[in-house]
Chain A
Amino acid sequence: MERALTVDQRWDLVDRIAKETVEVGAYKPTLKDALAGITVNPWTGIPFAIAVLYGFWTFFGEFAGLFTDGFFVRIFGTHWIPFLGEKLAGLPDWAFTILVGDKAVFAEGFVGDPCFAAGGVLTTGLFMPFGIVLWAVLALFFVLAILEDTGYLPRLAVLIDTVMHKIGLHGFAIVPTLISLGCNVPGVTAARTLETRKQRFIMIALLGVFVPCGAQIGMMEELVPGMIGWVFLTLAIGYFVFGWVLNKIWPGESPEILMDVPPYRAPQWSNILRKTWMRTRHFLFVAVPFVLLGCAIVMVLYATGAMDAIASGLEGLLASVFGVPASATPSLMVGFLRKDLAIGLLPIGAMTNYQVFKSVILLSIYFPCLATFALLLRELNWKEILATLGFLVAMVFVFGGVLNLIGMAGGW
């Protein structure tokens, strides 16, 4: 027989039990408690937060750069790709094209970096996930694990709550956002910790549209390092402005923050490493097959001439609305599969800097990758899914159009 107590009765009972069994001795606050105060007090906490995030960003850039430029560009560019070109030269043309790259290009020499110019499944297809993206994702997940395990994230949530509340969320939304910078898939899952349907919808829509994942960031860091700041700024503006709009137009409740703030803990390295590894492994399983598939599709479309047909079909739209050349078509097409691969396929040499910038922004917002989209289908109801897709399309035209107008005004 169940016998339920009221809240007051239950607490009364807890108090009486605790009086019998718990003895609270004198306690002197320690360094951890002092740090807890400093990092959550706005006057000291905000500079601290900026310093922490900047430090981690620097670590991320250095770490990822060390592996990519230090090792993999050389390994792939001067050894692996020429080696494959020779060893597999006996394959029929179609197979060589898909696995390695265009035979003519191999014969004439590459324009630009062979790691990207080759394009085959075993060349560029392996270089992107293992040469670049893996290290970026690994570094981001490692940094994130440290932020999580020390207990810093809830403090960051308190500091940013005021701003987040303006867009219908609350401070805890910083957690799914930061996780999404590693990979959008666990980020979207983490959005479940928000209380209402409205909050989860806003969060998931913003994550899917405006938060680039670690794989994308890694590719940007490699290919357009000078632009990252502007890309982030543009996406952040989108995140807040359109979060604010969604909050105004979408019905539902946006309750205020109510969150446990755990004490600081020294991180356990075994746990941090295990968590970094688990997430990275999950990333590899989800991402690598799509990157390889994407490479294969692009090469098949090239070899059959279909790519030219599609590109010329889209040329009018791309040029008039977005001011992007038709040679960006393959990149935009595989963007549905993987954003990192899409950035790798941008014809950077054939575009102006401003066109590259616009393309990177468009790629970020125009569709979440396939894995994230599959998750959206599970997390949202049909009305929310349609709204998210409508939101996506609207954002593509708003951002593409506005950036194009700015470009025309600036003469870029």
Chain B
Amino acid sequence: MNKVLLMGQANVGKSVLFNHLAGAAATVSNYPGTTVDFDKGHMMIEGERVEVVDVPGAFSLDPKDRAEEVAVRMLEEEKGATVVCVIDSSKVERGLYLALELIEKGYPVMIDLNMADVAKDVNIKVDTKRLEDILGVPVVTTVATRGEGLKELVSRMKEAKPVETGKIIEKVEAS
């Protein structure tokens, strides 16, 4: 693993997460499309220096503005990079839509259910174990604004791996 891309839809707390991971200061805003020029930084995983890239927010891999175009292009240039798909825990479904697109493209993916505090406030519960079992990729829960869950996120990045979409469908049908 030499490169990690943080991907996610707008307003999922991606840049806050990036700031924690890379110790950098990306600009963070509560409106769609803040990260248009992307930020890069480095973090240490088990003594290994890994590049982290804060990819502009994209709702899907079917771009509708230049920020999303940048995101899709970066993704295409970085075949082989590990992709952390950051999802707003209170809007899991649309986050999963993007996650599936990433999985279909064959990237080693892991999922970060961020903003767990918001989900709790609106009474939404996600069974992360079950989700991990179905998708076959690591799923962790974080509250990036408070720095919660970041250790687990980092320690499990190396478990991210490509998954066949067919396997996921089989899993769902089996249950």
Residue numbers of A with Cβ under 8 A of B are 1-5, 10-11, 13-18, 20-27, 30, 145, 148-151, 153-154, 157, 172, 175, 189-190, 192-195, 200, 258-260, 262-263, 265, 268, 271, 274-275, 278-279
Contacts and interface: CB of A to CB of B under 8 A. Distances in A.
A4 to B, nearest CB: 5
Contacts of B25: 274, 278
Contacts of A26: 123
B125 A17 contact: no
Interface stretch (B42-50, B96-104, B152-160): B96-104
A148 B30 contact: yes
Contact of B123 (A21, A27, A279): A27
A177 B34 CA distance: 14
The 6 closest A-B pairs by CB, nearest first: A25-B123, A193-B33, A262-B11, A148-B29, A151-B30, A23-B125
Contact of A17 (B9, B11, B33, B172): B172
B96 A14 contact: yes
Given A3-B104, A154-B31, 8 more contacts: A10-B104, A20-B127, A20-B130, A27-B122, A193-B32, A200-B66, A262-B30, A263-B118
8 contacts: A14-B97, A20-B127, A149-B29, A151-B11, A190-B33, A194-B65, A262-B30, A278-B25
B106 A192 contact: no
Contacts of B124: 22-25
Identify whether the interface residues of A are mostly helix, strand, loop, or mixed.
helix
Given A20-B134, A20-B172, A258-B64, A4 B104 contact: yes
Contacts of B28: 149, 271, 275
A281 B118 CA distance: 32
Contacts of A21: 92, 126-128, 130-131, 134
A65 B124 CA distance: 48
A193 B59 contact: no
Contacts of B140: none
Contacts of A24: 123-124
A10 B27 contact: no
B10 interface: yes
A195 B64 contact: yes
Interface residues of B, number: 51
Contacts of A16: 172
Contact of B104 (A5, A30, A271): A5
Nearest to A153: B31
A178 to B, nearest CB: 11
B2 interface: no
Contacts of B96: 14, 17-18
Given A18-B93, A22-B124, A175 B31 contact: yes
Given A3-B165, A20-B134, A23-B125, A193 B104 contact: no
B64 A189 contact: no
A115 B92 CA distance: 58
B174 to A, nearest CB: 11
A26 B66 CA distance: 38
Contacts of A274: 25
Nearest to B65: A195
Nearest to A195: B65
A18 B36 contact: no
A192 B145 contact: no
Nearest to A157: B31
B148 interface: no
A22 B93 contact: yes
Contacts of B101: 10
Given A21-B134, A148-B29, A268-B145, A192 B65 contact: yes
Given A23-B127, A25-B123, A260 B32 contact: yes
B169 to A, nearest CB: 7
A149 B30 contact: yes
A3 B134 contact: no
Given A10-B100, A17-B134, A26-B123, A189 B36 contact: yes
Contacts of B104: 2-5, 10
B4 interface: no
A149 B106 CA distance: 35
Given A5-B100, A18-B93, A275-B28, A262 B10 contact: yes
B66 A20 contact: no
